[in-house]
């Protein structure tokens, strides 16, 4: 029998595999070859788990689902907490995890791969898509398949371990996952001194969408240095920003320790709707050092120079020395255009002020199952790398300025791998601050020479 030709591109296959580990995909079934019938599908795909099923339509959409469970013709629902649906947009995969695991997959004899009561590739022995978002998986039908329910192709792949390569794949970044490295980074941060002697602490501004993890990042860094999980800054899940004040948080080395030479400045969440979230003018006031600590944000009106505590002549100690954009890795592929434009406007102003900028990519474990399984897979994941490339292009910063992290959320105890990623982010911030101070020193020297 001739070899089946996959319609799924090599890059798309690699992207799917990056979600699942060191695996490869073997094509079992191709509807245009074997027939658009449930019988043909089940004959080739039953008892071949785990599998990836992919649908294609005339509008050019590529979408499907993964299940770790075997297909059959039992007529029953099968539980699978690892199942998910996916779709490709501009080379980036968007994943939709199952939220009703007991009904994740349905075994129907006269249909193709059927995910709960949500999505079926081939329905009733016909080349049509059954689509019912929200039953066991949430997705936007227009984004998933463009509401084009005519199926031009259906492929099912068996997921198998990739044991062929004799040379281990190299991570795209190198990290030393050892307690000794954590200790060295903590000591480096504790002993850091700004190169401009008039400045006692580096001030880093955290900017991001509601729920991206700005306050959680401070809590997580604070936890590392306190030696246990803390929750000083208000954080949690809410459709609107839980941070309503401008806060400057000084970190301490231990319960009775001295303040660290870095201050993390927290803001109200960015929103793209008019009259919602922090105003760009307020961000400019923060960057320039005008805004006092604990200022109560008013989305309808930015800070005025006659407000209580307004700094009319801020010093370098009051100004921001580095900007960190906090971005949820799960939402990079669906970031609204207006939000990206708002980020670019902020970035433009920060550039005029000569401020270094980086991106903290949060919730990487939620974005990639490979990373959720083991945080040390972070720089082995091609999917995370694609997200880093995507956010780099959208925000306009080099990939080297995008730093993946995992904040503490549901943990009660510290985790070494989590700590190392968090500390690496702070080290990068301080390096950027040094660049900013070096540039200021060069400017001052140039003025003095004149």
**Shared-domain flag, residues 148 and 215:** no
97 three-state secondary structure: strand
- Using an 8 Å Cβ cutoff, are 387 and 400 in contact? no
Banded model confidence at residue 180, pLDDT cuts 50, 70, 90:
very high
**Shared-domain flag, residues 48 and 151:** yes
pLDDT at position 305 is 81
- Boundary-marking domain end, from 126, 161, 196: 161
**Shared-domain flag, residues 286 and 403:** yes
Mean pLDDT computed over 389-396 = 92
d(CA 315, CA 29): 68
pLDDT greater than 50 at residue 215? yes
Q: Which helix (H) or strand (E) holds 436?
A: helix 416-449
In a domain, 222, yes or no: yes
In a domain, 166, yes or no: no
- Using an 8 Å Cβ cutoff, are 280 and 342 in contact? yes
Q: Angle CA(86)–CA(87)–CA(89) in degrees, nearest 5?
A: 145
Domain with 212, as residue range(s), is 179-449
**Shared-domain flag, residues 407 and 343:** yes
Exposure class string for 100-137: b at 16+ Cβ within 10 A, else e? ebebbbbbbeebbbbbbbbbbbbbebbbbbbbebeebb
In a domain, 240, yes or no: yes
In a domain, 3, yes or no: no
- Using an 8 Å Cβ cutoff, are 362 and 212 in contact? yes
Banded model confidence at residue 332, pLDDT cuts 50, 70, 90:
confident
Which among 313, 301, 418, 281 is positioned nearest to 363, based on CA atoms?
Answer: 418
**Shared-domain flag, residues 271 and 401:** yes
**Shared-domain flag, residues 40 and 189:** no
Banded model confidence at residue 169, pLDDT cuts 50, 70, 90:
low
Q: Does this model's pTM top 0.95?
A: no
d(CA 390, CA 3): 35
In a domain, 357, yes or no: yes
pLDDT greater than 90 at residue 233? no
- Using an 8 Å Cβ cutoff, are 382 and 18 in contact? yes
Banded model confidence at residue 239, pLDDT cuts 50, 70, 90:
very low
In a domain, 254, yes or no: yes
Q: Where are the beta strands (DSSP E) in 280-371?
A: 322-328, 357-362
Number of Cβ within 10 Å of residue 197's Cβ equals 7
- Boundary-marking domain end, from 128, 161, 194: 161
Mean pLDDT computed over 100-112 = 95
pLDDT at position 168 is 45
In a domain, 171, yes or no: no
The residue count of the chain comes to 450
In a domain, 358, yes or no: yes
CATH number of the domain that residue 293 is part of: 3.40.50.300
pLDDT at position 1 is 42
47-51, 62-66, 386-390, 442-446: least confidently modelled range: 442-446
**Shared-domain flag, residues 417 and 279:** yes
Based on the structure, what is the number of domains in the chain?
Answer: 2
């Amino acid at each position: 029998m001739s070899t089946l030709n996959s319609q799924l591109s090599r890059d798309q296959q690699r992207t799917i595999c990056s979600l699942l580990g060191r695996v490869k995909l073997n094509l079992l079934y191709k509807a245009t070859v074997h027939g658009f019938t449930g019988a043909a599908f089940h004959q080739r795909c039953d008892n071949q788990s785990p599998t990836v099923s992919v649908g294609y339509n005339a509008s050019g959409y590529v979408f499907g689902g993964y299940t770790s469970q075997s297909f059959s013709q039992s007529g029953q629902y099968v539980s699978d907490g690892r199942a998910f649906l996916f779709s490709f947009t501009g080379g980036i995969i968007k994943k939709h995890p199952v939220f009703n695991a007991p009904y994740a997959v349905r075994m129907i004899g006269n249909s193709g791969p059927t995910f709960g009561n949500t999505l079926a590739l081939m329905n009733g022995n016909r080349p049509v898509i059954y689509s019912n978002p929200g039953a066991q998986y949430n997705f936007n039908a227009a984004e998933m398949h463009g509401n084009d329910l005519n199926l031009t192709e259906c492929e099912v792949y068996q997921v198998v371990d990739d044991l062929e390569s004799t040379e281990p794949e190299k991570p795209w970044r190198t990290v030393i996952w050892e307690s000794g490295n954590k200790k060295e980074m903590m000591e480096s941060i504790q002993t850091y001194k700004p190169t401009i002697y008039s400045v006692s602490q580096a001030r880093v501004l955290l900017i991001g969408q509601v729920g991206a993890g700005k306050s959680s990042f401070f809590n997580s860094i604070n936890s590392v240095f306190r030696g246990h999980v803390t929750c000083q800054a208000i954080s949690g899940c809410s459709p609107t920003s839980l941070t309503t004040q401008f806060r400057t948080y000084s970190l301490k080395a231990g319960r009775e320790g001295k303040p660290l030479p870095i201050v993390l400045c927290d803001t109200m969440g960015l929103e793209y709707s008019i009259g919602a979230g922090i105003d760009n003018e307020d961000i400019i006031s923060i960057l320039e050092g005008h805004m006092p600590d604990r200022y109560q944000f008013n989305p309808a009106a930015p800070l005025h120079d006659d407000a209580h505590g307004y700094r009319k002549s801020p010093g370098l100690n009051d100004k921001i020395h580095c900007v960190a954009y906090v971005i949820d890795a799960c939402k990079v592929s669906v970031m609204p255009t207006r939000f990206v434009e708002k980020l670019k406007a902020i970035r433009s102003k920060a550039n005029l002020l000569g401020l270094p900028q980086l991106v903290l990519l949060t919730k990487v474990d939620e974005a990639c199952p490979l990373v959720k399984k083991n945080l040390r897979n972070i720089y082995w994941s091609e999917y995370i790398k694609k997200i880093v490339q995507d956010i780099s292009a959208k925000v306009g910063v080099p990939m080297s300025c995008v730093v993946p992290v995992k904040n503490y959320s549901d943990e009660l105890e510290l985790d070494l791998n989590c700590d190392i990623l968090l500390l690496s982010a702070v080290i990068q911030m301080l390096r950027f601050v040094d660049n900013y101070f070096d540039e200021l020193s060069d400017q001052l020297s140039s003025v003095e020479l004149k």
